[in-house]
Structure 1
Amino acid sequence: MKILKNKIFKFLFKKKSSSKVPKNEENDKNDDINDINVSTNDKTINNKKDDDDIIKQMEKIIENYSKFFTIGKLNKDVIIDYYKKNGNFNTKGIDPYEMSNMFKLFDNCLECGKTNTYKYWCQECNSQRFQKDFSNWTSGNKFIDNFIQRSQLQARNNNEVMEWIPYNRFKDIKFLAQGGFSTVFEAIWLDGAIEKWDYENQQWCRQVHLIDNPDHPDSGIPVVFKSLDNSSDISEDFLYEWETWLKGIHKSMNDTTPFIQIVGITQDPDTLNYMIIMFLAPLGSLKSNLKIKKYNPNDKFTNLFNISRQLNAIHKLDLIHGDFHNGNILFFNYEYGLISDFGLCRPVESVASDDVFGVLPYIAPEVLRGKPYTKAADIYSFGIIMWEMVSGISAFHNITHDLSLSLEICEGFRPKIVKGTMPEYVKLMNRCWNNNPDKRPTADELSKIFEKWSDKFPIELDEEKRKPVPENESEVIYHPEAYYISRKIDYTNKINEILAQNELSDKIEILDDNIDDNDSLENYIIEDDYY
């Protein structure tokens, strides 16, 4: 078997560039490249430019696509021909896969000769390979089989592939954590994830950590299992949530937004519960990194920019996360925290649609009162995470997570602002956790604000220059009844009853310190001495 060294942690994350395309002076003096999907904004290139200049313009346009492809000799003629026929590079709304076909930016498949849909990946040929193998495996559940098969047939690249992985292909399985409706384990996946097709040996090349010999004791890829309670007879309805999420991940790649990858499903032979397989995040969750973020304050700007980008991608698809908290943001390096656990935050067995599940400090007041979970509720959770990035501790860690706290949250109780927090950050945080969901910013606005702040306060990635957590830093003591795993929050009726008695129902608003809630923070100037 041909094995490739592991490239799992080379996630190819790239911050969106603010580079600008040279403009047509007469018509486009004020246009910028702000987003890859609106890169050219109908810009035209001066017809007098020679072919080299045309290629340079195209290279500028695809700068944000650099993780997908580069311009090579074979496709320069295609690009020049396209420009000369159309007079411009109007790529508005075109995703990398459409663009690859338009400009032949990926190499051709060595088998069918058609343009690859990704580096070394031909969707048409690989889907046929997967389909031929369908009869050689089964999960024992027709819904899971169909789910995995659809992911394989629709995979435009190796990151979109899921597999059925026999339990005996894992070793060194260890308990990691207990969730509200699941148990988390870590293990070593002996085979590693599919990377590309080996034409010479007619088999899959796989990503294997460190050692090229699969029989070597140190070979394999570190992964985590999320074992779903009572999932031995998992339903199609529950899998629909995962499939919706996976479709969202596929579409998010259109603007190069990174998401955590689900690489496969397996089954515990003892409990018969099904287990979701994801790559192990080396740095753990945000919860375990909060102190590090406190002592490296510029981290929060870049981290929250990338998190807000992911949240924005979710919301653009009319999806919501529904269980957004510091345990569901996983770090593969200092720079990138990836949102996880969409669709995995409730019990597998069917529940009433108005039941509230989650981690109490992050649940928006309107949800606690029985209103539907919305995009604005995710934004409320984002505001709590903003506070944690500054404080270095989990919100409400030292008090009981009970009816009393739920009621206080509905009445406007929020974590105390940390002294020295820059005023603009406080204003934005207050907007995020406003009691009125209509007054909260959108994820799109958040991503634009944090993009500018991350440019002004760049993250320090040099290990020697980063500040360690002091050895004398006091340990955070959690209240024994402060729960940071998802669970059912069954206080809605009592909360509404109490608030109605106090004549506060539907009239409570958190004080915003005279903030103009409609005032955009995009262009705020931040003084250099604020961190």
Structure 2
Amino acid sequence: MEKVAYCPAGHSSNDFLYSDNKNFIYYGNCSLCTKERFIQEFKTWSSGNANIDKIIQESQVKSIYEMFHWIPYDNFQNIEHIADGGHGSVYSAKIKNGIKWQWNFIKQDWEYRFSSNIALKEIKNSRYDIAEFLKMIKIVNTYEYIANYYGISKNPSTQNFIFVMDLFNDDLHNYLTKTFWNLMWEEKLEILVSVTTGLEILHAKNLVHCALHSGNILNLASRGPNIYLDLCTLEDDLILNANEKNNKIYGSIPYIPPEVLRGSKFTMEGDIYSFGGIMYEVITAQRPFADQAHDTYLMIDICNGVRPKVPDFMLNWIPKWYLDLMYRCWSDDPSKRPTADELYNLFREISNNLFYYMMDNDVMRQFKIADENQNNTSKSQKQELFELFSHSNKLHPQSCYISRCIHTFHGMHDLLEEIKSGKSSDPNLLSIKFNTHNIDEEAEI
């Protein structure tokens, strides 16, 4: 007969805490005691926003694996500024003791976790809906390949809310810039498998990312690339308003699909178009359209089918299979783009075959030849090619890879001809200059 453990409060391991989890008791920890302790402490804190309080409290009652925490600002130590952006600023910090995890009924005190450095993202955009974003986070917060959020705080000086999350080493763009010439296809595919895994999770949960680009792929040494959620939203909300047109959107023009530039809602298929830009960056270490102004004229080109060009000297390092797949992601027809699930399965299969050296078909032979061609390029040749490529793709002063307010063609319908004729200024070009210090920009971590 199974032995039943009890805590001093009389809870047994046969008690149910959640609909699908039994109460557990071990080493002085009781999950029911933990739940009750959190409930007792509800009256000791408030974020100042009833909706946010409710979301945090529900998460602490539901499951120990999906908890958000209200973390008082004075719990943070060694706060150091990392970067400024549109929605706010990012800092690194440590938390005194860590984050509350479980109540120990023997010690009559909390046990803590996560005492290492964390990131604080202070939201300065007053129009940013914190409560809605927390609802999105709740859906996928425990999944690998998605950036984890541990709680929320508030800066007493500014009264701005702060997300407490993992501190990442780099974003994908900076990582590729540093490591590109040493990356072989096995490593490149591992990156793409990680990103498509995260994207597949989001889409399976009916979430659309809406702002997928290399600045929102964050790299943690122990876990590899993770997707930062950014402007993520439920597809059901988008479908309900599908017939409405957008006059303005937020994003970075090179990653925005043509249908959205025209004014349509963002969809899962739009995320796949954005992923095509990540595929391009993985094979070139350059962001799409880096050498062009990110203005209405670029939007016109994209809607007319223009896509980023891979340099000729790199073509023999890239399998034709890969290029064909990238251009499928960039299809002007959303229905012709692959799904996140299809992309994951394709990259996973190729990655496994490379790992086990299974070169028994044409596609795998393409990858083998591509690696051999890159290996056979001397270090001096690579350096010369890289300098040539970097010079020819020098970042245009009017390019912008931070998400910002973009006027769609639907919103500019009456103004478009005047822009083309030069009678009116291009609002998309002006907004780049204006938004350099505007709080409506989207920060990259």
- Which structure features the higher share of strand residues? 2
In structure 2, the residue corresponding to 1:398 is in which secondary structure? coil
TM-score normalised by L of structure 2: 0.73
What is the letter of the counterpart of residue 412 of structure 1? G
Match of 1:268 among 145, 149, 155: 155
The answer to whether structure 1 residue 205 and structure 2 residue 102 are counterparts is: no
C-alpha distance in structure 1 between counterparts of 2:109 and 2:291, whole Å: 54
In structure 2, the residue corresponding to 1:133 is in which secondary structure? helix
Match of 2:324 among 419, 423, 427: 427
* Structure 1 residues 402-450: Cα deviation after superposition (integer angstroms, max 9, x where no partner): 1111111111111113412111111111111111111000001011111
427 and 136 in structure 1: CA distance in 2 versus 1, 3 angstrom threshold = same
The answer to whether structure 1 residue 371 and structure 2 residue 296 are counterparts is: no
279 and 109 in structure 1: CA distance in 2 versus 1, 3 angstrom threshold = farther
How far did residue 338 of structure 1 move? 0.6
- Does the CA-based 8 Å contact 1:309-1:447 persist in structure 2? yes
In structure 2, the residue corresponding to 1:373 is in which secondary structure? coil
- Does the CA-based 8 Å contact 1:245-1:343 persist in structure 2? no
109 and 392 in structure 1: CA distance in 2 versus 1, 3 angstrom threshold = farther
- Does the CA-based 8 Å contact 1:181-1:486 persist in structure 2? no
Match of 1:488 among 375, 380, 405: 405
What is the letter of the counterpart of residue 303 of structure 2? C
Unaligned ranges ≥5, structure 2: 15-20, 234-243, 357-374, 421-445
Match of 1:221 among 98, 116, 121: 116
C-alpha distance in structure 1 between counterparts of 2:32 and 2:96, whole Å: 28
What is the letter of the counterpart of residue 154 of structure 2? Q
- Does the CA-based 8 Å contact 2:147-2:229 persist in structure 1? no
The aligned residue for residue 305 of structure 2 is 412
C-alpha distance in structure 2 between counterparts of 1:344 and 1:267, whole Å: 22
- Does the CA-based 8 Å contact 1:299-1:334 persist in structure 2? no
- Does the CA-based 8 Å contact 1:117-1:123 persist in structure 2? yes
What is the letter of the counterpart of residue 262 of structure 1? Y
The answer to whether structure 1 residue 309 and structure 2 residue 309 are counterparts is: no
What is the letter of the counterpart of residue 320 of structure 1? V
What pairs up with 1:151-300 in 2 under 5 angstroms? Answer: 151-157=59-65, 160-208=66-114, 220-231=115-126, 238-249=130-141, 253=143, 257-281=144-168, 283-291=169-177, 292-297=179-184, 298-300=186-188
What is the letter of the counterpart of residue 424 of structure 1? W
- Does the CA-based 8 Å contact 2:33-2:103 persist in structure 1? no
- Does the CA-based 8 Å contact 1:284-1:330 persist in structure 2? yes
CA RMSD of aligned residues (A): 3.3
- Which structure features the higher share of helix residues? 2
| Percent identity of paired positions between Structure 1 and Structure 2 | 31
- Does the CA-based 8 Å contact 2:263-2:408 persist in structure 1? no
How far did residue 122 of structure 1 move? 6.1
How far did residue 264 of structure 1 move? 1.1
The answer to whether structure 1 residue 449 and structure 2 residue 350 are counterparts is: no
C-alpha distance in structure 1 between counterparts of 2:121 and 2:45, whole Å: 21
- Does the CA-based 8 Å contact 1:260-1:338 persist in structure 2? yes
The aligned residue for residue 34 of structure 2 is 126
192 and 494 in structure 1: CA distance in 2 versus 1, 3 angstrom threshold = same
What is the letter of the counterpart of residue 280 of structure 2? W
325 and 312 in structure 1: CA distance in 2 versus 1, 3 angstrom threshold = same
The aligned residue for residue 333 of structure 2 is 436
C-alpha distance in structure 2 between counterparts of 1:198 and 1:287, whole Å: 43
How far did residue 136 of structure 1 move? 1.3
The aligned residue for residue 51 of structure 2 is 143
What pairs up with 1:77-96 in 2 under 5 angstroms? Answer: none
TM-score normalised by L of structure 1: 0.62
How far did residue 171 of structure 1 move? 2.1
How far did residue 176 of structure 1 move? 1.7
Bigger mean CA deviation after superposition, 108-117 or 324-333: 108-117
Match of 1:381 among 254, 274, 284: 274
The aligned residue for residue 396 of structure 2 is 479
In structure 1, the residue corresponding to 2:349 is in which secondary structure? helix
Higher-RCO chain (CA-CA 8 Å, sequence separation at least 6) = 2
How far did residue 485 of structure 1 move? 1.0
In structure 1, the residue corresponding to 2:117 is in which secondary structure? strand
What is the letter of the counterpart of residue 286 of structure 1? L
How far did residue 223 of structure 1 move? 1.3
C-alpha distance in structure 2 between counterparts of 1:295 and 1:440, whole Å: 30
* Structure 1 residues 302-361: Cα deviation after superposition (integer angstroms, max 9, x where no partner): 11112111111111121101111111111112862111134479xxxxxx9823111111
- Does the CA-based 8 Å contact 2:245-2:410 persist in structure 1? no
265 and 249 in structure 1: CA distance in 2 versus 1, 3 angstrom threshold = closer
C-alpha distance in structure 1 between counterparts of 2:135 and 2:38, whole Å: 18
In structure 1, the residue corresponding to 2:315 is in which secondary structure? coil
What is the letter of the counterpart of residue 278 of structure 2? I
* Structure 1 residues 56-75: Cα deviation after superposition (integer angstroms, max 9, x where no partner): xxxxxxxxxxxxxxxxxx89
128 and 401 in structure 1: CA distance in 2 versus 1, 3 angstrom threshold = same
C-alpha distance in structure 2 between counterparts of 1:338 and 1:168, whole Å: 29
The answer to whether structure 1 residue 402 and structure 2 residue 402 are counterparts is: no
How far did residue 491 of structure 1 move? 3.6
* Matched residue count: 361
The aligned residue for residue 323 of structure 1 is 211
Unaligned ranges ≥5, structure 1: 1-73, 76-106, 209-219, 346-351, 460-466, 503-531
What is the letter of the counterpart of residue 228 of structure 1? I
How far did residue 494 of structure 1 move? 7.0
